């Protein structure tokens, strides 16, 4: 029987769209392991594996585990993007800001 964690991973993977095999390759696991996470009530994956899955699905571990107020996959992606943005060097962040400013111009 699937768990809420498995349901969220499956939904995000299908929305990507990504196959079981594609996700498994991105997180250095077997297709059967990803299938088990999505479809069975197995022990939770390690924190490291959850982080890899969240990164591959462009979301957060919090969203996968529902440990935060993030209830929407899109909001989780936005938060993941912001964390990636904040890790960039200042010059890269300025470039990204200019790009976004250009998109806002009418």
Alpha helices in 27-72 (DSSP H): 31-39, 47-56, 61-65
CA angle 71, 74, 55 (to 5 degrees): 95
CATH number for 77: 1.10.260.40
pLDDT in tens, 41-100: 877 789 999 999 999 998 888 888 885 555 577 777 787 788 888 899 999 999 999 998
Q: What is the DSSP letter of 71?
A: -
Give pTM, 2 decimals.
0.68
**Span 5-34, average pLDDT:** 94
Count of structural domains, the chain:
1
The answer to whether the CB of 29 falls within 8 A of the CB of 36 is no
Residue 21 belongs to domain spanning: 4-104
Residue 78's pLDDT is 81
Q: Which residue has the tokens 């250009």?
A: 102
Tally Cβ neighbours within 10 Å of residue 9. Answer: 24
């Amino acid at each position: 029987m699937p768990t809420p964690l498995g349901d969220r991973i499956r939904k995000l993977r299908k929305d990507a769209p990504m196959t079981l095999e594609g996700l498994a390759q991105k997180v250095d696991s077997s297709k059967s392991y990803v299938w088990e996470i999505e479809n069975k009530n197995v022990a939770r994956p390690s924190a490291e594996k959850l982080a890899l899955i969240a990164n591959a699905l462009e979301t957060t571990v919090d969203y996968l585990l529902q440990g935060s107020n993030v209830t929407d996959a899109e909001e989780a992606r936005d938060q993941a993007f912001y964390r990636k943005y904040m890790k960039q060097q200042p010059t890269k962040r300025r470039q990204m800001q200019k790009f976004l400013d250009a998109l806002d111009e009418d």
